[in-house]
Structure 1
Amino acid sequence: MTLTKIRTAAAGSLAAAGLLIALAGCSTPAANQPSASASSAPASAGASSSAASSSPASSSASGEPCAGVKVIVDSGALKQSAASTSTCVSVDGPTVASKVLDEAKIKTEGTTQYPDAVCRVNGVPAADFDIKHKDGTYREECKGMPAAFAYWSIWIKPASGKWEYAQEGLATQQVKPGESLELLFTVDNEPAAPAA
């Protein structure tokens, strides 16, 4: 088998695996966290919003602990805009992640083919932005599944615990007071997970 055929087969396998993981995020939650595939999976699902209301978002920049849900957006791998932003959103109990993002004024966009896949967060990556990766450059058009080498992923961190790859999409993933929710952009599997 030639090197080109091997690379094509590997790329196809990665794309298929990414599609399965993203679609799984739209269905029932998995019992366990994905293993090694979590750091290389394409964007988790979720651009849907909930219409319910909750307390307005408040800044956690003062360094004080967040009594609600700490929301972090990290696009540092893109080197396109501010690397990381953090906001505290007041919640009284388990709340759908899409609602928490709405309260934090964070807008997610899906793709034409997969509206629940996270393709852009607050317009990032821009349609005309060249994403530099190990094989060249790429522009995200948000038509199909985001590229397996450049994507947004969803992470949840319990009040006392480690970051875990979200098992559901934003439309169904629940977050509770004291937890953190991060949208992390990864290029060529870096960063593989949110910072501690």
Structure 2
Amino acid sequence: MTKTSRALGASAALLLALALAACAPSGGGATDEPVASASASADASGSDGECAGVEVVVELPADLDVSDSPAGTTCVEADEPILASDAVAEAGLTTEGTDEYGDQVVCRVNGVPAEDFALPAEDGSDYFETCASMPAAFAYWSLWTKAAGGEWGYAEEGLSTLEVSPGESIALLFTVNGEPAAPSV
């Protein structure tokens, strides 16, 4: 893929995300700035084990052997909508964007994949993620959302602009060669 076609693809994706965001209904009385009271805690779970705040899920392929895996589920206390980036931070996670796209493209979560970690490509070769531009199409982090009682779907915005409400879930899913295809929880 050439730089021009990659840039056109990224531009088209950004325009689509902006168009979809413009079509989304706005809540009555909502402010432009989300106000949150958030902290990661097991206490945010209700008596039935459901997360009363925002659930943050991190998944990796089962066969990807990384040290200090960030995989897991955390319930972040929230009684009002919060930014996904704040929920991720409250869950004790750090993210790294790319040089070209900043934090709009997640390249690493808690340092995974490390720059010196060999990711297996479909052709059997090793790939090393540098976070210079878009990650490889076969090894990348994606952001997913799920409404309370709903199904997982790709997020239409990045971490720094996506607002999530109590009862909703977000997932950072690392996919290698198509696995996993969607969050499993």
Question: For the superposition of Structure 1 and Structure 2, which TM-score range results when normalised by the shorter chain?
Answer: 0.7 to 0.9
Please show how residues 45-64 of structure 1 align to structure 2 within 5 Å: 54-59=37-42, 64=49
Aligned partners of 1:133 and 1:188 also within 8 Å: yes
Cα distance in 2 between the residues matched to 1:16 and 1:57: 37
Query: RMSD across aligned C-alpha pairs, in angstroms?
Result: 3.0
Choose the corresponding residue for 2:51, options 66, 71, 74.
Answer: 66
- Partner of 1:89, secondary structure, is strand
Quote the offset at 1:187 in angstroms. Answer: 1.0
Quote the offset at 1:29 in angstroms. Answer: 3.7
Aligned partners of 1:26 and 1:169 also within 8 Å: no
Aligned partners of 2:36 and 2:82 also within 8 Å: no
Matched residues, number: 168
- 1:131 and 2:122 matched: no
* 1:173 matched residue in structure 2: 162
**Structure 1 residues not aligned, in runs of 5+:** 1-7, 33-49
Indicate how the Cα distance of structure 1 residues 21 and 193 shifts in structure 2: closer, same or farther if over 3 A, else same.
Answer: farther
**Structure 2 residues not aligned, in runs of 5+:** 25-32
Cα distance in 2 between the residues matched to 1:133 and 1:70: 31
Indicate how the Cα distance of structure 1 residues 55 and 94 shifts in structure 2: closer, same or farther if over 3 A, else same.
Answer: closer
TM-score (norm: length of structure 2): 0.77
Cα distance in 2 between the residues matched to 1:25 and 1:69: 26
Identity %: 51
Choose the corresponding residue for 1:118, options 92, 106, 115.
Answer: 106
Cα distance in 1 between the residues matched to 2:12 and 2:75: 28
Higher relative contact order (CA 8 A, sep 6+): 1
- Partner of 1:80, secondary structure, is coil
Per-residue CA distance 1:90-122 (angstroms, 9 max, x = gap):
111221101111111111101111112100001
Cα distance in 2 between the residues matched to 1:187 and 1:114: 21
TM-score (norm: length of structure 1): 0.74
Cα distance in 2 between the residues matched to 1:158 and 1:192: 19
* 1:79 matched residue in structure 2: 65
- 1:182 and 2:171 matched: yes
Cα distance in 2 between the residues matched to 1:134 and 1:190: 12
- Partner of 1:160, secondary structure, is coil
Quote the offset at 1:27 in angstroms. Answer: 3.9
Quote the offset at 1:184 in angstroms. Answer: 0.1
- 1:19 and 2:10 matched: yes
